[in-house]
Structure 1
Amino acid sequence: MAVGYLEILRTRHAARLLAGTLVGRLPNITGAMAVMLFVRAEGGSYSLAGALVAVYGVANAVGQPVLGRLVDLHGQPRVQMAAALVSALGMVGFAFTGVEQLAAAYVFVAVAGLFTPPLEGGLRALWPSVLRKEEQVHRAYAMDAVAQEVMFTLGPLLVTLSVSLWSARAALVLLNVIGVLGALSVVVSAPSRAWRSAPREAHWLGALRSPGLLVMLSAFLFVGIALGSITVAAASYADSRGGDAVYGWLMAGLGLGALVGGTVYGARQWSGAPERRLRVLVALLAVCYLPLMLMPGPVAMTALSALAGVFLAPCIACAFVLVDRHAPRGTVTEAFSWLVTTFTVGSSVGTGLAGPVVEAGGALWGFVVPGAAGGVSLLVLLVTGRVLAVPREGAVVAVAAENDPNRAVEPRFSSGDRA
């Protein structure tokens, strides 16, 4: 797998696109944590912090599919760059407004979320045009998930370092300036400038007319709720165990676990249908959230956080395959953006739900939420298994399965979405 990753990264433009996308997404990756620390530094409550994070997440959820559809219709550079600039200005405005002027704070946070550029969906739309071979695209999806977890590991540490060296306000500004530079690196590249979506059937539902995609979105809504609730529960736990430094390590541990899990997942070949594999992965994800309720000391709790993250990246990597299988032709960026949207909405709901739960019952009850949400996600996948197994209408069948040594027949990737 290491050789396979190197082969992809040596492909022209691949390393730049991956790095630029990850850096460009840094404000979004660290947004919930940075906003929460800033609100707490300004003297705001957990409920206020959770509400602002929820507004940011909901606005992000609204903006991602809209911007994704605009990318499919008009190309990447104009949409991605303009969105990145407006989003950064919104968060910088929030940083200098603070929480005393609540109306302005909510507006700025909403603008920052609404215009977050759909870089994640854009990258996955670019992979087929850069790599050409379907087996490389499968591997790139796994590498993409692993690389994201590197940022989820380093991002919290970067936030806490910036807060320690300067302030929570400076951290917000710095992260968004870096994000704009990452987006710029992507949109000026040749693949981004040349990419065009495949011809699409005019339909007001766009990607949402696919039943299989709707199933995926329903399941990952609850995965997002689980992850969002951990953010608040971990903050409450850290307040009595060492403060912001412990909180940063818990969040970094969660990302590190996902990094390890994603690396192991991508290191072997998988046979069989990916929808069955996703059910197993989501079940394991839900089970690994349960030990967090033990709430041991900071070192052991960091280890449990890492365990809780182990199956996150494999779930995401497997979901990429299924989203592409079920996305209607010409809607690939929008489809991936809907997945990001659903995950973000779930995360925002999780933070908004966990805030009052933590204030009412403490960190213990906050850690109950992710296990319950993971169980509901598994239930959705089990109940809708037949729908998820049916490929999208008009899918092309090819002898090229996801990491399948038996070369089982399944619908191929959307190669029609190449430049």
Structure 2
Amino acid sequence: MAAGYLEILRARHAARLLAGTLVGRLPNATAAIAVVLFVRAEGGGYSLAGALAAVYGVANAVGQPVLGRLVDLHGQPRVQLPAALASALAMAVFAFTGLDPLPPAYVAVGAAGLFTPPLEGGLRALWPSVLRREDQVHTAYAMDAIAQEVMFTVGPLLVTLCVSLWSAGAALLVLNVLGVLGALSVVVSAPSRAWRSAPREAHWLGALRSPGLLVLLGAFLFIGMALGSITVASVPYADDHGGDAVYGWLMAALGLGALLGGSVYGARTWPGAPERRLRVLVALLAVCYLPLMLMPGAVAMVALTALAGVFLAPAIACAFVIVDRHAPSGTVTEAFSWLVTTFTVGASVGTGVAGPVVEGGGAQWGFAVPGAAGAVSLLVLVAAGRVMAAPAVHAVVAGSSENDPNRAVEPRFSSGDRA
């Protein structure tokens, strides 16, 4: 298993790009907890903290596809680094001015989310230029999904460490300085500087004119809902079975399950079309959410939560391949950014839906939400099976036309997106 990942990391620039992207995304991955801790340290309540975190999340969801399109049009260095600097500057304003007055605080947090650079989509656009074989790119997508789980585990620990050593304001500053350094490491690299998007047809919908991509985004909206609802439903369960420590173990188990599943998935090459494989993975994901409703003792519940996460990273990695196949030519960064945005919005909707469900029916009904969301995601993929079908093998692509899913060469490996 390790051999495949080591082969990827030995490729020139691969380790640097992966590490730089992860460090560059730290401010985004830790924004919610960092903002909440800062607001509490400034004397604000949880309602205000939640409102500011929500403003950041909404602005981030809006900014990612917009900045992704700009990257496709103008290249990575000219967009990623200025965006990282603008986001860090806005968060620094928030850290120095605090909560009084409130309107500038909202503006600063919103600007920080809006200008968060689309490093995640940018990295996936770079993999084909760094790794010359399609199977290596697919392994890199899986490794990317695994690294996300590690980052979302380590990130909150880093926030709490900074808060304990210095202050909540210092944590905001340190994380955003690290984010700028990570983005800088990426954009000064040779692959990032040389990368150019494939020629694109001017169209206001951009990547969203691909029917296959729209279906994928619809499915992952519900997968995001499932994940967001688990984080809410786990709170009352933990309150009845040991408190915050149990909640921490449940969240860690969810990440650990995804880490293990992604590691196994990325260690081999899978036959067949990824569209069919995604349906199987989402079906398994939905099935593994159902046992959470049993709500056994804490130890067994941690094991069930780990099981619920096993197929998450493989599904995400498979989705990366499908995005690459279905994104119209010249929109690859924007398309990946739309996937990030949709998943984030889905998680936010899931937390919003699970709250009233838990209040009305308790934790057990809260754990029914991820199973239902997973089932709807599978239904979307099955119902739109023809739309998601792989492009025809022998289709002819006109030199001046868009390389869209209905006319793209099979498989749609993004060699055209290389410099």
Structure 2 counterpart of 1:402: none
For 1:93 and 1:354, locate their aligned partners in 2 and report how far apart those are by CA, in whole Å: 34
For 2:159 and 2:344, locate their aligned partners in 1 and report how far apart those are by CA, in whole Å: 20
Summarize the alignment of residues 107-126 of structure 1 with structure 2, pairs less than 5 Å apart: 107-126=107-126
Q: Give the 3-state SS of the residue equivalent to 1:139 in structure 2.
A: helix
Change (3 A) 1:339 1:167: same
Task: Note the C-alpha offset of 1:101.
Answer: 5.0
Change (3 A) 1:255 1:166: farther
Supply the AA of the counterpart residue of 2:45.
Answer: G
Summarize the alignment of residues 1-400 of structure 1 with structure 2, pairs less than 5 Å apart: 1-38=1-38, 42=43, 44-45=45-46, 48-95=48-95, 102-238=102-238, 245-296=245-296, 298-358=298-358, 362-391=362-391, 392-397=405-410
Per-residue CA deviation, residues 296-348 of structure 1 (Å, 9 max, x unaligned), is: 55544433332221111000010011111101111111111111111111122
Change (3 A) 1:363 1:102: farther
Per-residue CA deviation, residues 70-124 of structure 1 (Å, 9 max, x unaligned), is: 1011111121111112222333444455567554443233222211110011001
* Alpha-carbon contact 1:146-1:313 (below 8 Å) kept: yes
Higher deviation after alignment, 11-20 or 235-244: 235-244
* Alpha-carbon contact 2:138-2:266 (below 8 Å) kept: no
Change (3 A) 1:76 1:202: same
For 1:295 and 1:165, locate their aligned partners in 2 and report how far apart those are by CA, in whole Å: 37
Supply the AA of the counterpart residue of 1:321.
Answer: V
Per-residue CA deviation, residues 348-378 of structure 1 (Å, 9 max, x unaligned), is: 2223333444455554444333222222111
Task: Note the C-alpha offset of 1:413.
Answer: 0.7
* Alpha-carbon contact 1:55-1:109 (below 8 Å) kept: yes
For these two proteins, the number of residue pairs brought into alignment is 405
* Alpha-carbon contact 2:139-2:267 (below 8 Å) kept: no
For 2:353 and 2:108, locate their aligned partners in 1 and report how far apart those are by CA, in whole Å: 22
Percent identity reads 83
Task: Note the C-alpha offset of 1:186.
Answer: 0.7
Supply the AA of the counterpart residue of 1:302.
Answer: V
Structure 2 counterpart of 1:403: none
Change (3 A) 1:149 1:304: same
Aligned-pair RMSD on alpha carbons?
Answer: 2.6
For 1:325 and 1:346, locate their aligned partners in 2 and report how far apart those are by CA, in whole Å: 23
Query: What's the TM-score once normalised by structure 2's chain length?
Result: 0.88
* Alpha-carbon contact 2:5-2:267 (below 8 Å) kept: no
For 1:39 and 1:353, locate their aligned partners in 2 and report how far apart those are by CA, in whole Å: 25
Q: Give the 3-state SS of the residue equivalent to 1:387 in structure 2.
A: coil
Task: Note the C-alpha offset of 1:141.
Answer: 1.3
* Alpha-carbon contact 1:51-1:352 (below 8 Å) kept: no
Task: Note the C-alpha offset of 1:21.
Answer: 0.6
Gaps of 5+ in 1: 398-410
Change (3 A) 1:73 1:177: same
Change (3 A) 1:232 1:265: same
Change (3 A) 1:156 1:414: same
* Alpha-carbon contact 2:254-2:306 (below 8 Å) kept: yes
Supply the AA of the counterpart residue of 2:276.
Answer: R
Gaps of 5+ in 2: 392-404
Change (3 A) 1:364 1:84: farther
Higher deviation after alignment, 166-175 or 192-201: 166-175
Q: Give the 3-state SS of the residue equivalent to 2:12 in structure 1.
A: coil
Supply the AA of the counterpart residue of 1:84.
Answer: A
Change (3 A) 1:272 1:185: same
Task: Note the C-alpha offset of 1:129.
Answer: 1.0
Supply the AA of the counterpart residue of 1:326.
Answer: H
Change (3 A) 1:254 1:385: same
